[in-house]
A and B are shown apart, each in its own frame.
Chain A
Amino acid sequence: MWSLINHLVSPRKFYSLSSKIHPWLTVLFLLVFSYGVIGGLLLAPADYLQGDGFRIIYVHAPAAFLSLFIFTIMAGAAICGLVFQLKQAFLVIKHSASLGAGFTLLALITGSLWGKPMWGTFWIWDARLSSELILFFIYLGVLLLQSALSQKRMAEKTIAIFILIGFVDIPIIHYSVYWWNTLHQGDTLKLFSPSAIDSSMLYPLLAMIAAFLLYYALILFMRMRYELLTTNHHWLRN
């Protein structure tokens, strides 16, 4: 079993598989993303209260979801790296951090652009906004550690432990709207109960979330392949 897992996550296997699926992922991303953008800007009807201003949800909610999702992937990779000593796990962390920081910043900027016309202000020290800002600083911390620590093995372990400590912020972000009185609305999409959004507005939103997930996979694989071809090319040899 262990040898099978080891075989599947081996750099050579990953490189050949990711090279093969890359064009298919690109086409799928472009299709889903196009539907999401057209659906968000044109097909979905305007909200009865927020008018066309609600269309920012199609950028803001998927970006916020990705900011949490990528950090969860990084925490999983940190455990795999620390416990199972998987070399690939540290590569996932290295190349996910800047993408996660980018999605978090995008969520904060688009949230501000949505907040101004709806709340009358670009920023407020609300629990959800503040905890998301803390996540952005945690991402910056990971990036700073990556550039500051020169000894590779020590840097990888330090960053993995830092990520696991920072993971405390993820449930705080998610439950902040329930634990405190916040200006930010509750969850639009619920996993185990019907969503509070009409299907004509829901499908473009789901498409944008799927598109962002595909985009994350595409860019992560592209960066990891580049790293395998340059600094870690010996991993690809027999």
Chain B
Amino acid sequence: MDAYGWYVYSAYGCMMIFLVSQWLIPWRRLQQLREKNHEQDS
């Protein structure tokens, strides 16, 4: 990756942080809601 490694990996790192955080927040909320609904049903 020669001299550009820091810039390239920083860019890919920013992308991964953004994608994972945007995915986990609604997914976690949906899971919590399902668990809550499941508890109420049982």
Contacts and interface: CB of A to CB of B under 8 A. Distances in A.
Interface residues of B, number: 21
Contacts of B18: 102-103, 105-106
Contact of B11 (A102, A113, A226): A113
B11 A117 contact: no
A229 to B, nearest CB: 6
Nearest to A215: B19
Contact of A53 (B8, B19, B23, B33): B8
Tell me the dominant secondary structure on chain B's binding face.
helix
Contacts of A53: 4, 7-8
A105 B11 CA distance: 12
A91 to B, nearest CB: 13
Interface residues on A, range: 20 to 34
Contact of B26 (A41, A51, A219): A219
Interface string B1-32: 11111011011101100110011001101100
Given A37-B12, A53-B8, A110-B11, A117 B26 contact: no
A222 B14 CA distance: 22
Interface in A38-59: 41, 51-53, 55-56, 59
Given A222-B27, A229-B33, A52 B12 contact: no
A117 B12 contact: no
A174 interface: no
A113 B26 contact: no
Nearest to A229: B33
A209 interface: no
A219 B4 contact: no
A83 B15 CA distance: 36
Contact of B4 (A110, A117, A223): A117
Contacts of A136: none
Given A105-B18, A226-B26, 6 more contacts: A110-B15, A113-B10, A116-B7, A215-B19, A219-B23, A230-B33
Interface of B: 1-5, 7-8, 10-12, 14-15, 18-19, 22-23, 26-27, 29-30, 33
11 contacts: A41-B8, A56-B11, A59-B14, A59-B15, A106-B18, A109-B11, A110-B14, A114-B7, A116-B7, A222-B27, A229-B30
